[in-house]
Copies of this chain bind each other. A is one copy, B any other.
């Protein structure tokens, strides 16, 4: 339907039958950070046509990976949300993001900044071992895009929008983020150059900025285990 089936008796082939067609995993990427309306998805996925978005949404919906929910009374509209089944794709999405980031640096020209990708990059770069015992929330402003990362004992949880009580807040623009992501400048140097503003207690600032140390993969690094048992929060505050 969305894609021709491989018709192989193969878990990998079946995965690709479900989410292997163009834009599917990027759509999942967007919904992993929270519910979104149709037009939000169009805006956040530059290059994806409205018609194809419709097709993909239907396909993912029929396979139970996403759902269309009605928003509470005040806002009488719908939003697409990832289901629990769909959220089981998160480790795979993170792993692919980590893998792709490794050689992204050589191919960054002509590429457009998308906030969902920034969130995913930070998530893929997260080193859980360095945050043992830490429970904090960091709020990021990249251009006009606001999101936050909440670190708990079990996981790093990214969310769109402001944090309730962020322990640290960071401001930078998309171009600076790109230069940090691709290793052309460190977060610390960006601060010195006034490209990045960070607010909060000194030790918290340090931990927060460490999320932006996109070091090449080192021995012992692992993709963070995400708690898949939690209920998908349908709507952020």
Q: What is the interface of chain A, defined by CB distance below 8 A to chain B?
A: 3, 6-18, 20, 22, 25-26, 29, 46-47, 84-85, 88-89, 91-104, 107-108, 110-114, 116-117, 120-121, 124, 178, 181, 216-223, 225-229, 231-233, 235, 237
Contact = CB atoms under 8 A, between A and B. Distances in A.
A155 to B, nearest CB: 12
B97 A95 contact: no
Nearest to A7: B111
Contacts of A121: 10-11
**This protein's copies in its complex:** 2
The 5 closest A-B pairs by CB, nearest first: A10-B117, A15-B100, A11-B101, A11-B100, A11-B97
Given A84-B219, A88-B223, A92-B96, A120 B232 contact: no
B26 A6 contact: yes
Contacts of A3: 22
Nearest to A114: B8
Contacts of A116: 10
A117 to B, nearest CB: 3
A193 to B, nearest CB: 20
Contact of A10 (B12, B97, B222): B97
A72 B37 CA distance: 58
A112 B232 contact: no
B8 A112 contact: yes
Given A20-B22, A88-B222, A95-B226, 19 more contacts: A7-B111, A8-B114, A9-B112, A9-B113, A9-B117, A10-B111, A10-B114, A10-B117, A11-B101, A12-B26, A12-B96, A16-B26, A16-B96, A20-B20, A85-B219, A92-B95, A220-B228, A221-B232, A223-B227
